[in-house]
Every structure is written in C-alpha cells, then in structure tokens.
Amino acid sequence: MSEGAVRPDAQVDTRGLECPIPVFHARDAMFDLPPGALVEVLADDPQAPSDLEHWCRRNGHAVLAIDPDGRGFKILIRRGADVERPATRRSSNGNLPF
C-alpha cells in the first residue's frame, strides 16, 4: 500500500465482482467503523477505482491510494464523518416485509 505500514481497519475482497458491487461492499464495510477508519478494497474490475473515487467524493470519504495488485487493485479509503445505513422498508402495517 502507498500508505506504508498502515494497516486497514477492514478489508473487502470484491475480486470477481463488477461495478457497482465493489462500491456497495465498501459502503457496507464502513457502517460499523468510526470516522477516520481505513478500508482496503481488493478489486479486479477495471472500473472499480474510478467508481470508488467518485462515490467517495460524493459521500465525504477519501481515496488515499490505488495500487495495482497483479490483475487488480488495492484501494485504500479513509472513512468520512457520516455513513447512513439504508432505511429498512416496512409494509403498510409496520411489519418487516418477510
């Protein structure tokens, strides 16, 4: 990683998955992490680095490094201040839909 000996707080392996799935997995990994935490995303979709950069800019996170790793990438992201968990959909009677 370009960050030297920095160890990520979480690692997400999205190799074999196409965008936008790596973005969703990165977002999900951040839900339980504090602001400033580091998430390393492993991806082999060529679109993943630019998709993650765009998503991070729009959501207050920062891509710290994008390093080639064989046929893929290691992407290091610093979590921003807020990550909102998507609302759970409920039926009209207030029960969960399952």
pLDDT in tens, 7-55: 999 999 999 999 999 999 999 999 889 999 999 999 999 999 999 999 9
Residue from 8, 12, 19, 55 carrying the catalytic annotation: 19
Domain positions in the chain are 10-78
Q: What is the DSSP string of 26-78?
A: HHHHHTTSPTT-EEEEEE--TTHHHHHHHHHHHHT-EEEEEEEETTEEEEEEE
Residue 19 annotated to the active site = yes
Asked if the peptide bond before residue 68 counts as cis, ω within 30 degrees of 0, the response is no
Cβ atoms of 26 and 68 closer than 8 Å: no
pTM comes to 0.79
Q: Supply the pLDDT for residue 83.
A: 58
Summarize pLDDT for 51-95 with one digit per residue, the tens: 999 999 999 999 999 999 899 999 999 999 865 655 655 555 555
* Residue 16: partners with Cβ closer than 8 Å, 6 or more residues away: 44
Query: Domain 10-78's class?
Result: alpha beta
Q: In whole angstroms, what is the distance from residue 75 CA to residue 49 CA? A: 7
